[in-house]
Amino acid sequence: MLSIHFARHLMVAGLATLLCGAVAAAAQAAEPPLTLEAAVQHGLARAPQLDARTADTVAAREEAARAGQLPDPTLTFGLSNFPVTSPGAFSLRSEGMTARTVGVMQAIPSRTARRAERALASARIDAAQADRVATVQSVRERIADAWIDVWVTEQQRSLLAALHDEAGLAVRIAQARLRGGEGNATDVLAVRAEAATLDNRLEAIGADLVAAQAGLQRWLGPGVFDLAEAPDFGRLPVTADHLEQRIDQQAPMQAWQAREQVAQAALEQARAAKHPDWSVTASYGRRAPGLSDMVMLEVGVSLPLFTRNRQDRGISARQAQWDAVQADHEDARRAQREAVTRAVATWQGWNQQVQRYQDTLLLLARDRAQTALAGYRGGGSLQPWLDARRAEIELRLNYADALAARARLWASLAYLLPTSETTP
């Protein structure tokens, strides 16, 4: 009875395991294939870098809210007209003018200084937002590269797996020729070694695919992703002319305009230091019993009279920094234009190479290998097939590398502008 009960328990557990596996497989099958754009959007939604840049923007806005405000007032306590020599030294009652005072002092920076402080805070908000735009562009491109890594590795596996059946056919032909007395054992060993070499390459590609999936999981979370059809990497979502005409709108360049605004605001703040600041102090003095209490009101103003080695030096320093930012901005603009031109030219070159692979090279390599194998089956030498096969394998891997290079350049160009700037 115990053995029957145990067997039933195992059967129930086994059925539950099979049912869970079937449910998981059905859920996985229900997931639509992952497109490149879906991967980018999903990765952006959970990218911690964007959360960090959003927090930077919030911090800049909070700083801007207090910019240009009056500083906190200062509460003062003290003694006035306190005697320290005879007669009546150190007595609060010996001198009628002695008073215990409490007061409030309020500093009032100049209106120009407060306006410059608000302008600087506003420029820092723009700088934080520009950094976020640049981060979005970088994250989009990195997610696309991760998706492309998986896609290219799958292409490599497919390209080499298509040659697997031919390797088995070559082994069978060599063994048949050996049995018929037309071949030799060396040929059999050679074709078996060639088949094993292909298996090794496929195993290595399988490991590369696992690594590429891990790279995509870094952005999308755990899971094995079934990729959808790749977009047309031979056609940019934005024209090359459109990119070259909008250098300053591209994500890497947007931070420069914000940096110029920060430098300009810092210069205005330095100039505002030449305007006088004000202060108001009010205090109440309590004297000895029988004597009147006293009230004091003071107004102070700073005197920026000797500005040559003070305010003027600060203005000159901020002016030089603004000039430096403008010069760096122009250099970055030229470098970006060069980078875009180079990337477009290289992408177009890869386009032509990929097309040549598809139209000519891959077909010729396939015909060469098939012709050589047919010749070997008809009694010819094995070496032409070995040479043709090895050349075809390398050609297919080179083709996959060309696909990868073109796709990565496509991603670097497709995400240069905000999505609203792309054109069909």
Q: SS3 for 50-118, per residue?
A: HHHHHHHHHHHHHHHHHCCCCCCCEEEEEEECCCCCCCCCCCCCCCCCCEEEEEEEEEECCHHHHHHHH
Q: In whole angstroms, what is the distance from residue 366 CA to residue 370 CA?
A: 6
Written as six digits, the tokens of 39 are 């991967």
**How far is 333 from 382, CA to CA, in rounded Å?**
59
Residue 419's pLDDT band (boundaries 50, 70, 90)? Answer: low
For residue 128, what pLDDT band results from cuts at 50, 70 and 90? Answer: very high
Read off the pLDDT of residues 383-402 as tens digits, 9 standing for 90 and up.
999 999 999 999 999 999 99
pLDDT in tens, 277-328: 889 999 988 887 878 888 888 898 888 888 888 888 989 999 999 999 999 9
Query: What is the pLDDT averaged over residues 400-410?
Result: 96
Residue range 141-154: average pLDDT? Answer: 96
Q: Please tell me the distance from the alpha carbon of residue 385 to that of residue 252, in angstroms, as a whole number.
A: 51
20 pLDDT above the threshold of 50: no
- Which tokens is 53 given? 């840049």
**Confidence band of 31 (pLDDT split at 50, 70, 90):** confident
**Regarding predicted confidence, which is higher, 319 or 93?**
319
Q: Domain map of the chain by residue range?
A: 32-82+93-413
* Preceding peptide of 87 cis, ω within 30°: yes
DSSP labels, 302-339: ------TTTHHHHHHHHHHHHHHHHHHHHHHHHHHHHH
> 7 vs 210, which has greater pLDDT?
210
With a cut of 50, say whether residue 15 has pLDDT above it: no
pLDDT beyond 60 at 421: no
Q: Are the C-beta atoms of 406 and 233 separated by less than 8 Å?
A: yes
SS3 readout for 8-33: HHHHHHHHHHHHHHHHHHHHHHHCCC
DSSP 162: T
Share of the chain above pLDDT 90, in %: 56
Per the CB < 8 A criterion, the answer to whether 153 and 209 are in contact is: yes
Average pLDDT over residues 332-352: 95
Which has more confidence, 28 or 228? 228
Taking 80 as the threshold, does the pLDDT of residue 273 lie above it?
A: yes
Q: Which CATH architecture has domain 32-82+93-413?
A: Up-down Bundle (1.20)
Tell me the average pLDDT of the chain.
Answer: 87
Does residue 92 register a pLDDT over 90? no
Span 190-211, pLDDT tens digits: 999 999 999 999 999 999 999 9
- Rounded mean pLDDT of 339-362? 96
What's phi and psi for 236, nearest 5 deg?
A: -80, 145
Q: How far is CA 77 from the centre of its chain?
A: 55
Question: Is 25 a residue whose pLDDT tops 60?
Answer: no
Average pLDDT for 356-365: 96
Nearest partner of 131 among 26, 222, 286, 251, judged by Cα: 251
In angstroms, rounded to a whole number, what is the distance separating the alpha carbons of residues 163 and 365?
Answer: 12
* pLDDT number for residue 175: 92
Check residue 379 and give left, alpha or beta (phi > 0: left; psi -120 to 50: alpha): left
Q: What pLDDT score was predicted for residue 289?
A: 81
Between CA 402 and CA 230 the distance in angstroms is 15
Question: Percentage of the chain with pLDDT > 70?
Answer: 92
For range 107-132, the mean pLDDT: 90
Burial classification of residue 217, based on how many CB atoms lie within 10 Å of its CB (0-12 exposed, 13-18 middle, 19 or more buried): middle
CB within 8 Å of 275: residues ≥ 6 apart:
110, 111, 112, 113, 304
Q: For residue 296, what is the enclosing H or E element?
A: strand 294-301
User: 10 Å Cβ neighbour count for 97?
Assistant: 13
pLDDT at 30 over 70: no
Starting at the earlier edge strand, list the strands of the sheet with 278-286: 74-80, 99-108, 278-286, 294-301
12 pLDDT more than 60: no
pLDDT of residue 286: 85
Across the range 329-334, mean pLDDT stands at 94
**173 and 197 in contact (C-beta within 8 Å)?**
no
Q: What is the pLDDT of residue 19?
A: 43
Answer yes or no: is pLDDT of 9 > 70.
no
Radius of gyration of the chain (CA): 39
Give per-residue burial for 237-276: e unless 16+ CB within 10 Å, then b.
bbebebbeeebebbbbbbbbbbbbbbbbbbbbbbbbbbee
Q: Is the pTM of this model over 0.95?
A: no
Q: pLDDT class for 183, splitting at 50, 70, 90? A: confident
